[in-house]
Structure 1
Amino acid sequence: MKKLSRYLPVLDWGRTYNSNAFSNDMIAAVIVTIMLIPQSLAYALLAGLPPEAGIYASIAPIILYAIFGTSRALAVGPVAVVSLMTAAAVGQVAEAGTMGYAMAALSLAMLSGAMLLFLGIFRLGFLANFLSHPVIAGFITASGILIAASQFKHIIGVQASGHTLVEMVISLVEHLGQINPITVVIGVSATAFLFWVRKGLKPRLLAMGMAPRMADIAQKAGPVAAVVVTTLATWAFGLADHGVAIVGDVPQSLPPLTLPDLSPALLGQLFVPALLISIIGFVESISVAQTLAAKKRQRINPDQELIGLGAANLGAAFTGGYPVTGGFARSVVNFDAGAETPAAGAYTAVGLAIAAVALTPLVFFLPKATLAATIIVAVLSLVDLSILKKTWGYSFADFAAVAATIVLTLGFGVETGVSAGVILSILLHLYKTSRPHVAEVGLVPGTQHFRNINRHKVETADSLLAIRIDESLYFANARFLEDLVLDRVVEDCPIKDVVLMCSAVNEIDMSALETLEALNTRLSDMGVRLHMSEVKGPVTDRLKRSHFLDELSGELFLSQYDAWVKLSGKA
């Protein structure tokens, strides 16, 4: 049973489920459901899909994640960034509003789910670590700006287009003559109201004496109030006849069983976008899940999370949805509302299913401007330009990577931006590790410790060069070490022994081994012996498989102090 619960976490938390957990989960589900109804419709609009697709993508995926996921509070469903990436990817293979577009979205979800499952089953979640946090922050910030800009056309009621910020701005300027004043009033009013709800409603209600829990629920229900008021106004005054774009007919049904398009040509076109969506979705989801789990001293299994998210995306693919992941806003709301187990997500799915069957006719007159306002208010919280200042002050390399990611995302679209982010993250790692921190060290007087000669007052010996390597040695940085040692030896003729202090070296790959062999030979030709100290056990074991230690001109010392005692002549 224990082994089975590893792959089905529901068997773990389900054994201890009780009435108290049920009560807390139900309250959280009600709050999250209220929040998700307008949000799901809005994110479907952002993805270029019919509004019902957002609700469908929030039902089966949530249930499947509750069975296979390990987070007790993560709420899975459509999110802003993935919705934007879906629109960008599917827009390249089909025209928005067509059956082919919806089928391509299903295929994209299926591909993403299959990739996530593959990564989870083979425990490859570590691959997501190749995306640095600053680059992810830059991409999300740029995506937030793009999403807000893409919704401005609905706020002012014009038919604009574009996938980059420049294209969007140019298109908006070209269509300014089509502005609908009534739509502007609705859009601007809804946006202002939602911003006030987010920042000012709860403090006002608390000041009026409302209980904190009720004030929190009222704040989360703010978007619903905007939906209700603007829908009633549009219906009562016949605003649709005056050019106000509305949602229109939404099927009154549970999620249908759907079959993605499995044609090789389409899957080939969507493969790279699906991979990027999988990576970004997983990184966003796991960061949220781990943050919330830490607050309750719980643990998240990244590989099982991949399986949970993979199952959720496959569920979306076969029930009329599109790619999903764990959302920050809804997960925080779920956590703050008191969710104790993933069952809260399952109850939320039930609430959304009821909404899909009973409430969809009520959104016929819902203005698209209100949904756009919901998106804008939600995504602007993702925009964090302070990351530029933080990285500028800490690391220019990180700053360059963040700035490049933001500029490329805004200038060339989300796919180019996230692709550049992945490449920049890898290049940044290679750049940093290709020039490892290497210090010449000496003995701290009265101790057996060795420190950098440029930072501390230490003892050195003219005939001994002690080099501490603060990085594993591999193909990208081994030559750097060789050049540094040889340059130092050439400029200082009295050196007779070189000791490589390897306390921070966790691995030496084949390329680095060959470089060490070459360094040993060249130093021997100069009459200088090469030694190594504090080499870790696993590294020593691997070196013993080669002839390097047999051919080493010097010795392998257990500690740097042992090397100092024997080679310095100052013991």
Structure 2
Amino acid sequence: MNVRTLMPDFSWIGDYDGRAALADGIAGTILAILLIPQVMAYAQLAGLPPETGLYAALLPPVLYLLFGTSPFVSVGPVALISLVIAEAASGSGVQPAAAAAIIAIQSGTILAVLGAFGLGRLVNFVSEPVLLGFTAAVAILIFTSQLPTLVGTNPERAGNLPAALREFLEVLPDWQPMTAAIGAAAAVLLFALDRYAAPAAWKIGIRPPWRQAIAKSLPLLVIIGAAFVAGNFADTVARVEAPSGGLPSVALPPLDPALWLKLLPSGLAVAVVTFVTATAVAKSLAGSDRSELDTSREALALGLGNVGAAMSGGYAVGASLSRSALVEDSGAKSPFASVIAASLVLATIFFLAPLLGYLPKTALAALVISAVFGLVKLREMRDVWHHDRYEGVIIAIAFTATLALGVELGLLVGALAAAAHHLWFSSLPRVTRVGTNDDGESFRSVDRDSIEPSDDPALVVRVDRSIFFANAAFIEDAVFSQLGKHEGIDCLVLDMRAVNAVDASGVAMLKRLVQRLYEGGIEVRLAAAHQPVKDSLATLNSQQCSFHRTVKEALDACGIDYRKDIAPT
């Protein structure tokens, strides 16, 4: 356990001054303008009262201030996690708020333990293709989950796309024209503002941070406009439940072990999604101020934030890319900007709670819909497809599985597909004959680089991957296959420069290989092995094989004049 990870970090205070405080105040105010309606909308997505989103935005930013490492990351309710909460809570058999609190505590505990023990690097085990396919499918699931609210219906929650469409079609005859009109108008305006407001402000000469202040204030005006229309011309439009106007009550969720065990997969899914997406957000913003990202501290900060949210009437939180980018673009100097935004949320709860009850649900659904299409990253998907068709297939698997099976199983299937791809790819390493055409200065594949192979009784074979249990037998067979293609070989040189590790199965295979070749009258020489690899192969019989610094030295030891019959360069 790393004790330093468990200690609050106040290193940013040393250079903090009045100018930085003013910048954080402006950035925090701008953030609050976007944060308040957004967290209420995400709570509605999660199947919780909108005030739950406001409560979830209070304590997590404070805890991130103490333990996080990025000055820009905005911690609070996010669409992706809200959908996981909605799916899990709907099938839990208990009140959604209780299920959400349990999931927040479970995910927070998992993340805090990972951070405390310095295991933040585990974030790298979820591949980019899996995340691309998963988040794109989640965007579609969120869109379909909000369509009923947008048109004024209220079907049963569904965890996958076929069920969601079926439920929506069943209640579609009950749609409310005025509700749908207000929601559709709000959605169109929000889409247009998201795309054109900031560029338009730039063109007319408005520069940061005021450019974002204006651009991000406009969606709030749309929501207020929708509330005005609904209040004056459409009394039948459903509105959100007004917050109580005070601090949330602290209450432990049910301590039923069976319930906690039932919700544990959801807690694990939330922990994974929170950690992966939050780390991606922090990494994307780390370069702007040359800050160093400590993934273990990030895990601890997010974990404590989730537990804190559960204890203060909220639900599981994550890092929002759009809000974090807004904080950066608004000129924030420290995580204190998010704390200022949280204080403004608290002031809203105390002084503006009755007014929030006028907000129409359809407008909040439109806000969610307009926000989630950033999860569909078509350009990144196309780049992955051009880079590796197999990884492109993994995107498709994660995407399809999430739509068909739901969020939790979709993420699991995608992760398993990525792991299977990695194991399969690693189990089939390239084992190729190499040669030289520059007097032994370099040795390259005779198949790929048009190197003319010599007819010497020495064969040089390069293994292009670490040797472990999944590929040891394949490498052994490939080496004998190379030997079978050439007659009169009495010396085999294994070029080990691309081998970074050898596990116990690899060592056993090499022992067997050396023994068989020794008995067949072929000496084995291992060249260019890294020192850790040499150390792991220390148990090889030194009477049957030897190590050499380079391939050139190994051929010299074989008694081969490799310069003869060299093809001209």
- Measured against the shorter chain, the TM-score band is over 0.9
Describe the shift of the 1:20–1:444 C-alpha distance in structure 2 as closer, same or farther (beyond 3 A).
Answer: farther
Structure 1 position 4, deviation (Å) = 7.3
The question of whether the paired residues in 2 share the 8 Å contact of 1:61 and 1:312 is answered with yes
From 133, 150, 157, give the equivalent of 1:155.
Answer: 150
Structure 1 SS opposite 2:289: coil
Q: What is the one-letter code of the residue matched to 1:364?
A: G
In 2 relative to 1, CA 211–534 (structure 1 residues): closer, same or farther, beyond 3 Å? closer
* Residue 319 (structure 1) aligns with: 312
**2:417 is aligned with 1:424:** yes
State the match for 2:41 in structure 1: 42
Q: Which runs of 5+ in 2 are unaligned?
A: 564-569
Matches within 5 A, 1:247-258: 247-258=240-251
- For 1:519, the equivalent position in structure 2 comes to 513
One-letter amino acid of the structure 1 residue matched with residue 182 of structure 2: I
- Corresponding residue of 2:490: 496
8 Å contact from structure 1 (residues 141, 383) kept in 2:
yes
Letter in 2 for 1:62: P
Which runs of structure 2 are paired with 1:129-278 in the superposition (5 Å)? Answer: 129-161=124-156, 162-208=158-204, 210-211=206-207, 213-237=209-233, 239-240=234-235, 242=236, 244-278=237-271
Runs of 5+ consecutive residues of structure 1 not aligned to the other structure: none
Following TM superposition, by how much is the alpha carbon of 1:325 offset from its aligned partner in structure 2, in angstroms?
Answer: 1.2
Q: Does 1:377 align with 2:364?
A: no
Report which stretch shifted further, 483-492 or 43-52.
483-492
Higher mean displacement: 433-442 or 78-87: 433-442
Could you tell me which amino acid in structure 1 is paired with residue 46 of structure 2?
A: A
After superposition, the Cα gap between the structure-2 partners of 1:255 and 1:339, relative to the gap in structure 1 and judged at 3 Å, is farther
- Measured at CA, do residues 331 and 235 of structure 1 come closer, stay the same or move farther in structure 2, by a change above 3 Å? same
Q: Which residue of 2 aligns with 1:71?
A: 70
CA distance in 2, matches of 1:425, 1:87: 26
Aligned to 2:56: 57
The Cα shift of 1:570 comes to 2.9
Flag the 1:489–1:204 CA change in 2: closer, same or farther, 3 A. closer
Secondary structure of 1:441's aligned partner: strand
**Shift in alpha-carbon separation, 1:461–1:31, aligned structure 2, 3 A:** farther
Alpha-carbon distance in structure 2 between the residues aligned to 1:383 and 1:463: 57
Distance change >3 Å, CA 455–CA 259, structure 1 → 2? same
Tell me how far 1:207 sits from its aligned partner.
Answer: 4.6
Deviation at 1:144, TM superposition (A): 0.6
How many percent of aligned residue pairs carry the same amino acid? 34
| Matched-pair contact (CA < 8 Å) for 2:5–2:116 | no
Matched, 1:460 2:451: no
Equivalent residue pairs, number: 559
Q: Give distance in 1, aligned partners of 2:264 and 2:23.
A: 41
Task: Tell me how far 1:320 sits from its aligned partner.
Answer: 1.0
Alignment of 1:25-36 (within 5 A): 25-36=24-35
CA distance in 1, matches of 2:455, 2:113: 56
Give the Å deviation of 1:496. Answer: 1.5
Distance apart, 1:175 and its partner CA: 1.9
Equivalent in the alignment of 2:404? 411
Rounded to whole Å, the distance in 2 between the matches of 1:206 and 1:456 is 52
Corresponding position of 1:560: 551
SS of structure 2 residue aligned to 1:480? helix
- Supply the AA of the counterpart residue of 2:540: F
Deviation at 1:208, TM superposition (A): 4.7
Match of 1:125 in 2: 120
* Counterpart among 88, 100, 107 of residue 105 in structure 1: 100
Report the aligned-residue RMSD: 1.8
Structure-2 change in CA distance of 1:387 and 1:530 (3 Å): same
The equivalent residue for 1:482 is 476
- The change in CA–CA distance for 1:303 and 1:213 in structure 2 (over 3 A counts) is closer
Q: CA deviation at 1:9?
A: 5.0
Q: Is the alpha carbon distance of 1:448 and 1:9 closer, same or farther for their aligned partners in structure 2, counting shifts above 3 Å?
A: farther
Match of 1:11 in 2: 10
Match of 1:354 in 2: 347
- Of 361-370 and 195-204, more deviation after overlay is shown by 195-204
Mapped partners of 1:156, 1:493: distance in 2: 78
Distance 2:546 2:278 in 1: 50
Deviations 1:300-340 (A, max 9, x none): 01111111111111111111111111111111111111111
TM-score, structure 2 as length reference: 0.94
Kindly provide the amino acid, as one letter, of the partner of residue 130 in structure 1: F
Letter in 1 for 2:212: D
